[in-house]
Amino acid sequence: MSGPLLSVEDLHVTFRTEEGDVRAVDGVSFTLERGEVLAIVGESGSGKSATVMTLMGLTRSANAGFKGWARLDTGDGELDLVSATDEALRRVRGSRVAMIFQDPMTSLNPVYRVGDQIVEQIRAHERVSEAEAMDRVIQLLDRVGIPRARERVRAFPHEFSGGMRQRAMIAMALSCQPDVLIADEPTTALDVTIQAQILERIRELRESADAGVILVTHDLGVVAEIADRVAVMYAGQIIEQGTLDEIFYDPQHPYTWGLLGSIARVDRPRPGRLPAIGGMPPSLHDLRVGCRFRTRCPHEFAKCAESPPLEARAGGAGDHLDRCWLPPAEKAERREVGGQIGLGRKEPV
């Protein structure tokens, strides 16, 4: 059992649309170890959801094209999720790799009982009787903190609250003891108090099952709570990648500075206005050569016209990667804005 649990190499996902080809995921690579939580951070359209959905095979369709590899250690060998057959992928989906989606309200089928829906998943992958499966489901619901689980299995989704539904979804995802759990914005649709509980469940899972967790989110607060490593995505690429401390205390890319600068922090004086990153992400139909962030970056210079590769520039162990041409010394200086890390405004030309 050596080597990473999941190894994604140079993944490209392109969608053919009426208006042209959309390069939703454009050369993404990362690894996931057992027992670690990798957070993928980015705004809408950055490609983070497309990446994880592709790992599950949920983006396969007539107008989608894929390149690259996503090698999963299945215990007795390796499976490339990108090129695997539909059937091979189906066997792995839900059993070795499971996913929790953003909106618990609509993610459960309204006409079947909650318990039956989880039993369905178990029996799709394992040879167990209905009764055995149902027992396991009751235990699972109990473990995720749903009270009176024995009665609740017979309930319909609309009889559950939002937080309970998300917990049921987690129970469902965990039902076959997956090695990789992907959580796509699991707390976005829930209120803050429930959010903490959900994160707690995810943390427990990581510890008890030694599974790897990929957490997709745009919320840095959630990242700080639970992540071990962070990958920041922008316009289909990873633009910075490192440990939690590295990203939060020694960020190397202006976009990351912008993200960090735009959150309100308890330990600093309140700014008059939360700074936002001006401008818009580039259209994915029409990607040009050069750094994709340059149109919004106040620190851009001549070299930015060349596409920056993802490399370790900051020194250290060599695992902290970024895509910014600026020399590290300059970065340390430029990222201090008003006493904290931030992006600063781009001056109009």
Partner 1 sequence: MARFVLRRLAGMVFVLFAVSVLTFLIFNVIPNSDPAVRMAGRQASESTIEAIRAEWGFDKSLPEQYVTTMKKVFTGDLESQFTRLNVGEEIRKGIPRTLSLAVGAAIMWMVLALALGLFSAVRAGKFSDRFLTILALIGISMPVFWVGALMSHYLGFKLGLFPNGGYVEFAKDPLDWAYHLILPWTALSLLFIGFYSRVLRSNVLDTINEDYVRTARAKGLSERRVMVRHVLRNSLIPIVTLWGLDFGAVVGGGAILTETVFGIQGVGQYFGDGIAQLDVPPVLAVTMLIAFFIVLLNTIVDIAYAALDPRIRLQ
Partner 2 sequence: MTAENRSADLGLDVGGRPGGGWGPSAEGAGPWRLGLRRMRRNPVALAFGALFLVLVGACVAAPVWADEIAGTGPFENHLSDTVVVDGETTNVVGFDGVPIGPTYQGEFFLGADSNGRDIMVRLLYGGRNSLMIGVVAALITTFVSIFLGLLAGYFRGSVDWVISRALDVMWSFPVIILGVALGVSLQLGGLKLGPIEIEGGSLAIPTLVIGLVYVPYMARPLRGQVLSLREKDFVEAARAQGAGPVRIMFSEILPNLASTILVFGALLVANAVLLEAALSFLGAGVQPPEPSWGNMIREGVNRIASAPHLAIAPGVMLTLTVLSLNVFGDGVRDALDPRAKIRVEH
Q: Which of 48, 93, 294, 320 binds partner 1 (CB under 8 A)?
A: 93
> Smallest distance from the beta carbon of 181 to partner 1, in angstroms?
12
Here's the x/- map for partner 1, 51-90, by CB under 8 A: it reads as -----x-x---------------------------x---x
| Closer residue to partner 1 (CB): 37 or 98 | 98
Q: How far is the CB of 98 from partner 2 (least distance, A)?
A: 24
Q: Which does 124 bind (CB under 5 to 8 A by kind): partner 1, partner 2, none?
A: partner 1
Cβ-based neighbours of 139, under 8 Å, separated by 6 or more: 149
Each residue of 177-201: b (16+ CB within 10 Å) or e?
Answer: ebbbbbbbbbbebbeeebbeebbeb
Question: 21 by DSSP, 3-state: which?
Answer: strand
For residue 61, the partner it binds in partner 1, partner 2, none, with Cβ less than 5 to 8 A by kind, is partner 2
Cα distances (angstroms) measured from residue 1 to each of 71, 72, 229, 245: 14, 12, 21, 28
Closer Cβ to partner 1, 58 or 337, answer by number: 58
Choose, by CB under 8 A, the member of 1, 2, 44, 61 that binds partner 2.
Answer: 61
Q: Could you say which of 54, 121, 217, 256 contacts partner 1 (CB under 8 A)?
A: 121
Residue burial 284-322, b: 16+ Cβ < 10 Å; e: rest: beebeeebbbbbbbebbeeebeeebebeebbeeeeebbb
Query: From CA 32, how far away is CA 27, in angstroms rounded?
Result: 17
Helices (H) and strands (E) in the chain — how many of each? 11, 13
- Name the minimum Å distance from CB 61 to partner 2: 6
| CA atoms within 13 A of residue 310's CA, in its CB half-sphere | 22
| Contact letters for partner 2, residues 4-43 (x by CB under 8 A) | --------------x-------------------------
Question: Measuring CA to CA, which residue among 109, 59, 78 is closest to residue 4?
Answer: 78
Residues binding partner 2: what is the number (CB under 8 A)?
Answer: 3
Round to the nearest angstrom and report the end-to-end CA distance of the chain: 55
With contacts defined by CB under 8 A, name the span among 8-16, 39-47, 108-116, 326-334 that binds partner 1.
Answer: 108-116
Cross-strand pairs, 318: none
CA distance 115 to 168: 9
Considering only 10, 20, 65, 124, the residue that binds partner 1 (CB under 8 A) is: 124
| Contact residues for partner 2, defined by CB under 8 A | 18, 61, 63
What residue ranges bind partner 1 (CB under 8 A)? 56, 58, 86, 90-95, 98-99, 101, 103, 106-111, 120-121, 124-125, 156, 158, 169, 172
